[in-house]
Structure 1
Amino acid sequence: MATQTPSAATEEYQPDPKRWTALAVCLVVGFMTLLDVSIVNVALPSIEKGIGASSADLSWVVSGYALAFGLFLVPAGRIGDARGRKVTFIVGLVLFVAASAACGLASGPLTLVIARLIQGIAGGILSPQVSGLIQQLFRGAERAKAFGLFAATIGISTAVGPLLGGVLIQLGGEQHGWRYVFMVNVPIGVIAFVAALKLLPSEPAAERQPLRWSSFDPLGVVLLGLGVVAVMLPLVQEQQWKGSAKWLLLIVAAVFLAAFYFWERRQGRREQQQLVDLSLFRLRSYSLGCIIGLVYFAGFTTIFFIYTLYVQQGLGYSALAAGLAVTPFAVGSAVSARIGGALVGRFGRSLVAAGLLMVVVGMLGAVVASLIVPGHGVGWAAAFPLLIAGLGSGFVISPNITLTLDEVPVKRAGIAGGVLQTGQRIGSAAGIALVGAVFFARVADNPRDWASAFQVGLSVAAALVTVGLIIAIVDAVTARSKESRESVPA
């Protein structure tokens, strides 16, 4: 009778009896970090009144979180893999709760923006630990079910965010209700912290790996961060920094981004850790999928940003009414995301193209609705177009991720997924900066014409999504043509 080697025994999967309760902790924390992406939008007018935030401050509150989140995803994933996901998860959770409290207690715009950046870093630390713990705790059909629950959590957090934000601001009042939006994370985070200590599995000390600065590619993080910030600064500060000298920062951005590219190539040649593994972009499906993800997130995330500002500042909606106004998009996205996951295997990139087309049609439909039904009734008039856009969104995000990672080798799936998510977050940050600049410039030209600012801003956002649509159509047509040629007998 053959004896089992120690290494084989340790590799054998032993289901953790607490895996489903541990998953519940992960989902609660994942819900909390993702909720902070959408819940804040309805709080922006309240923040403006409460602490005198400028248009630039409001842009940084939203885009700064997304940028910091994205930059720390890949390094934090490596830390969790090397030093233990439970420890990294708890550190990220403590930082997120502390930053949320700092946001809620902020006395001025600068304090709030800094706290939001820290909160974004904490979110970036937590996110890869959640997906890593699911992979660690589950196998086979159970893993698929766990990831399905995680996907549903993402959809629910997006749908609930604007409504919950409106309710909290309604409870706290117009002047200080925005503080409740951040402080709600504190009790939830404390409960999750206690549960995480008891329920999350600890890695044996023998499995932990030493960490060096080179393991995180810190120079790559800094170069990419500086490059993106240099692009965003003249856009976000467009109203505050007068004159044209600010646009010279785009040259600075090009230098930093070029330096980032050559640094990452150098790291790859030396087989050292990279923030972005450039060799992945030799895979056509991966490179196209990453571009689609970047431009799509640059376009669609701005809907929540400018629409809630328009209906609250321009039309006098309450925060709760503004939350209700954007709910059709969120609900449509949550509903179709599950369907999209089931259909992507059959339709491939054509499904993504159809979803992008629905988003563009829905966004332009909202613009037309605001022209046909100007004034207070725009919330009802734009509800159906936003529902169409939301349904389309569910056919884009999850299916695009599936297709983008389809040809990536399993051993590189973690880094590939991290880079894809990083691109999405950077796209969100840059898109909010760009569309926000257009929106606020229009308001500055005519402070009474918020409708025009919304229409122009949403049209720019639709143009960004259209770029993704063109890429998806070309990819789908090329793939179909290739299949046709391969099916013809020689």
Structure 2
Amino acid sequence: MPTLPMEEAKTAAPPPDEYRPDPDRWKALAVVLAAGFMTLLDVSIVNVALPSIEQGLHAQANALEWIVAGYALALGLLLVPSGRFGDAHGRRPVFMVGVALFVVASAACALAPTALALVLMRIVQGFAGGLISPQISGLIQSLFRGQERGRAFGLFGSTIGVSTAVGPLVGGALIALFGVHDGWRAVFFVNLPIGAAILLLSRRYLPAPTAAERRPQALDPLGVVLLGAAVLCILVPFIEQRAWHSPLRLALFPLAAALLVAWVLHERRYGRTREPLVSLDLFRIRSYALGAPVGLFYFAGFIAVFFILTQYLQLGLGYPAWKSGLAATPFALGGALVASAGSRQVLRSGPKLVAFGLAMVLVGLAGVWLAVGAHPGHDVALWTALPLLIAGLGGGLVISPNLTLTLSQVPVERAGSAGGVLQTGQRIGTAAGIAITGSVFYTQLASSHGDYASAFRHGIVSIAAFVAAALALVLADVFTRGA
């Protein structure tokens, strides 16, 4: 019997309910994780480069904020529709378009002549990241089953941890190497060789769209508009918290609620005859309905740790960028070390493992709070290293295991849109966490007349509240299951 060429064999793959392992699945995973690493690295590495951008482009404070916020906003807007588009038309082509656009936008960022041009290109970069991210979880869902899927999501979690850890170090090293005035350009140029390699390998190892995926499907344009407008109305008030003081900013929240209600009603009606942007049946899956808010609350705290720690060390104690990045490494590294094992174990242990991880994070945060209170001076990074490592190890038992549990019962044909919804929740949680924790931090900083240690400790309490909310949800799940 003649063998099919690689491309045709993958196109002729069996439907999801007749799963047959793809022999290239681990190589495909390496490709998509490299893309995930690139897009995540671009967040942490740019934060470190902001002072260099300020000097090199004479950028004002609002432009610096939008260099970060524009990326996050554009990413959040595209996650759900691009996930749905990947489900409908094949994840590989959407992934490759996203990577190509990310590379082009990175080159344009590196060559930007003005701060405004850089802001605009960062928004394009965010749209590209929004095309890429849902395809990663969707491809993992379709390529793996059982324990292998847990291991794959664990490696994804490790990628999140490693990219978060090395971003400040790489950014600081590039700026030191190429100079403060133009070192920030190297931060964007570094994406070009990575992205080019990913594109070449994607064509070789990622599965081509199946015949079912190639059939024309409506993409629910009104659903895209309603959800996009709602996400915009949620994210903008958080992002603009420090710059926009008009009552109109807060008025966007009830508008967002009204848009979400309209979106749900539309999705319910649209879904009677066609495939909606997001199938509301997803929220009837217990693991998905509970896991999504857990991720939102945890990301509200997780990312805010790096935000206030950087402020404390760099502004309060005068640490250089690379040194403050090194001080945060134990937290990120702890998560990277246990994420893979945690995702494999969670399929046997269930939500109890996630609850244990969240409790461990709270213990680590309490240790950080005590260490800063006892040793707030220049050697504080040494005293916080162990509790940050404990918190990071706990976090490694939360992010990937919770993602594995949340998506465990989601049909493969809806994996992209389901992953897009989860990641949109994470982006909302991140924006809310930074805004709320930042508000607590800066309010205490002002009232304590510049006491950064006191402001940091108040911020840690705020972060612990988000983690405790996630823990309460998981414990409610554990007890109502009778587990």
Q: Same fold (TM over 0.5)?
A: yes
Residue 350 (structure 2) aligns with:
348
After TM superposition, the structure 1 = structure 2 runs for residues 464-479 of structure 1, keeping only pairs within 5 Å, are: 464-479=466-481
The separation in 2 between residues aligned to 1:95 and 1:352, in whole angstroms, is: 36
What are structure 1's unaligned runs of at least 5 residues? 1-5, 484-490
Residue 172 (structure 1) aligns with:
178
Change in Cα spacing, 1:431 to 1:397, as seen in structure 2 (3 Å) is: same
Query: Which residue among 287, 294, 310 is the counterpart of 1:292?
Result: 294
Quick one: percent identity of the two aligned structures? 56
Residue 486 (structure 1) aligns with:
none
The separation in 2 between residues aligned to 1:350 and 1:205, in whole angstroms, is: 40
Change in Cα spacing, 1:240 to 1:405, as seen in structure 2 (3 Å) is: closer
Change in Cα spacing, 1:137 to 1:403, as seen in structure 2 (3 Å) is: closer
Change in Cα spacing, 1:141 to 1:469, as seen in structure 2 (3 Å) is: closer
Partner AA of 2:325 in structure 1: G
Instruction: Quote the offset at 1:412 in angstroms.
Output: 4.5
Moved more, 306-315 or 254-263: 254-263
Query: Which residue among 434, 446, 454 is the counterpart of 2:436?
Result: 434
Which whole-Å deviations, capped at 9, do the CAs of 1:384-404 have from their partners, x for residues lacking one? 121111011011112212222
Instruction: Quote the offset at 1:122 in angstroms.
Output: 1.0
The separation in 1 between residues aligned to 2:258 and 2:290, in whole angstroms, is: 24
Change in Cα spacing, 1:373 to 1:56, as seen in structure 2 (3 Å) is: farther
The separation in 2 between residues aligned to 1:446 and 1:112, in whole angstroms, is: 36
The separation in 2 between residues aligned to 1:63 and 1:410, in whole angstroms, is: 32
Moved more, 303-312 or 194-203: 194-203
Query: Which residue among 371, 379, 382 is the counterpart of 1:380?
Result: 382
Instruction: Quote the offset at 1:93 in angstroms.
Output: 1.2
Which whole-Å deviations, capped at 9, do the CAs of 1:448-481 have from their partners, x for residues lacking one? 433343333332222112111111122222223x
Query: Which residue among 76, 80, 90 is the counterpart of 2:82?
Result: 76
Note if 1:238 corresponds to 2:244: no
Residue 116 (structure 1) aligns with:
122
After TM superposition, the structure 1 = structure 2 runs for residues 177-256 of structure 1, keeping only pairs within 5 Å, are: 177-197=183-203, 200=206, 202-203=208-209, 208-212=214-218, 215=219, 217-242=220-245, 244=247, 246-256=249-259
The separation in 2 between residues aligned to 1:137 and 1:284, in whole angstroms, is: 23
Change in Cα spacing, 1:67 to 1:351, as seen in structure 2 (3 Å) is: farther
Which whole-Å deviations, capped at 9, do the CAs of 1:57-91 have from their partners, x for residues lacking one? 55544444344334323322333344344432221
Partner AA of 1:471 in structure 2: L
The separation in 2 between residues aligned to 1:219 and 1:334, in whole angstroms, is: 40
Partner AA of 1:128 in structure 2: P
Residue 487 (structure 1) aligns with:
none
Query: Which residue among 412, 420, 423 is the counterpart of 1:421?
Result: 423
Change in Cα spacing, 1:388 to 1:107, as seen in structure 2 (3 Å) is: farther
Partner AA of 2:125 in structure 1: Q
The separation in 1 between residues aligned to 2:283 and 2:110, in whole angstroms, is: 41
Query: Which residue among 113, 122, 131 is the counterpart of 1:125?
Result: 131
The separation in 1 between residues aligned to 2:445 and 2:129, in whole angstroms, is: 32
Question: Is contact 1:169-1:319 (8 Å) kept?
Answer: no
Partner AA of 2:250 in structure 1: W
Partner AA of 1:382 in structure 2: T
Change in Cα spacing, 1:409 to 1:146, as seen in structure 2 (3 Å) is: closer
Change in Cα spacing, 1:158 to 1:279, as seen in structure 2 (3 Å) is: same
Moved more, 63-72 or 96-105: 63-72
Instruction: Quote the offset at 1:126 in angstroms.
Output: 1.7
After TM superposition, the structure 1 = structure 2 runs for residues 298-309 of structure 1, keeping only pairs within 5 Å, are: 298-309=300-311
Moved more, 118-127 or 249-258: 249-258
Change in Cα spacing, 1:375 to 1:220, as seen in structure 2 (3 Å) is: farther
The separation in 2 between residues aligned to 1:304 and 1:44, in whole angstroms, is: 15
Which whole-Å deviations, capped at 9, do the CAs of 1:192-215 have from their partners, x for residues lacking one? 334444555544789622254xx1
The separation in 2 between residues aligned to 1:387 and 1:406, in whole angstroms, is: 28
Change in Cα spacing, 1:255 to 1:48, as seen in structure 2 (3 Å) is: farther
Change in Cα spacing, 1:360 to 1:207, as seen in structure 2 (3 Å) is: closer
Q: What RMSD, in angstroms, separates the aligned Cα atoms of the two structures?
A: 3.4
What are structure 2's unaligned runs of at least 5 residues? 1-8
Instruction: Quote the offset at 1:325 in angstroms.
Output: 0.8
Moved more, 298-307 or 152-161: 152-161
Query: Which residue among 142, 162, 166 is the counterpart of 1:160?
Result: 166
Question: Is contact 2:138-2:419 (8 Å) kept?
Answer: no
Classify the secondary structure of the residue corresponding to 2:244.
coil
Question: Is contact 2:87-2:417 (8 Å) kept?
Answer: no
